[in-house]
Amino acid sequence: MRLDKYICSCGSISRRDVKKLIKQGLVTVNGTVCKKADEQIAEDSVVAVGRESLVYRKYVYFMLNKPSGYVSAVYDKKYPVVTELVGEAYAHFEVFPVGRLDIDTEGLLMLTNDGVFTHEMTSPRKNVYKRYFAVLDKPMEEHDIAEFAKGMEFKDFIAKSAKLEITDNPREVYIEIAEGKFHQVKRMCERVGKTVIYLKRVAVGGVFLDAGLSPGEFREMTEDELCILGYKSENIR
Ligand code: URA
């Protein structure tokens, strides 16, 4: 692997800065200064910038507070995409969204470059629940709880049993679903005669959206959070 790519993969130094540091003779590989950005080095090399040794990693896992107006994709002809919200320093990781939120939905969206992780989180067979906060046009009623709990049959899929919690304001609810089908929450609410007017994902499989993240902000997920999601991989950091 190229030396500059290796250093970029260790953390938040942009490719441009990496090139400068290498040119300035501040980078060592196995104890020897290396001034060639395109030097091929082994993944197990000991690379340091100044006195700081770097730890190479292949995969990254981000938690994003998705703002409304962004498409959950890496490219769109018309609208901005969520991957644009990840800073330049991380661009080389080429992350993609873990599943999808509608363009007008806000909240917890994970981004990664790890395809296995994405599969584990999105496969309906894995039953990773997703929790949403929704504001409706009309109040939910107690009997709707049973409708959600029964599961619902749609022409393209069967929604498993879902949990509906009505707050003190019955137009504001929490809904937990096991899948993540297209417009699933909106369609389940329509089935009981209510229209979703605001939707935010607040948790995925026991990991809650960090309240410190404003819409559009992201941070790396912690090992504890990845562990809560049951994702054990030797690739994590
Ligand atoms: N259900 C929806 O209807 N929309 C989303 O964005 C996510 C779940």
184 CA to middle of ligand 1, Å? 5
Q: Which atom of ligand 1 is nearest to the CA of 183?
A: 3
Tell me the per-residue pLDDT of 102-125, one tens digit each, with 9 for 90 and over. Answer: 999 999 999 999 999 999 999 888
**pTM across the whole model:** 0.87
In the set 38, 44, 76, 102, the catalytic residue is: 102
At residue 224, φ and ψ (nearest 5 deg) are: -60, -45
226 CA to middle of ligand 1, Å? 23
How does 185-222 read in b/e, with b if 16+ C-beta sit within 10 Å?
Answer: bbbbbeebebebeebbbbbbbebebbeebeeeebeebe
Q: Is the CB of 171 under 6 A from ligand 1?
A: no
Contact 45, 6 (CB under 8 A): yes
**Would residue 114 show up in a list of annotated catalytic residues for this protein?**
no
Please report which confidence band the pLDDT of residue 127 belongs to, taking 50, 70 and 90 as the band edges. confident
59 CA to middle of ligand 1, Å? 27
Q: What value does the mean pLDDT take over residues 80-105?
A: 93
Mean pLDDT over each residue of the chain, to the nearest integer: 93
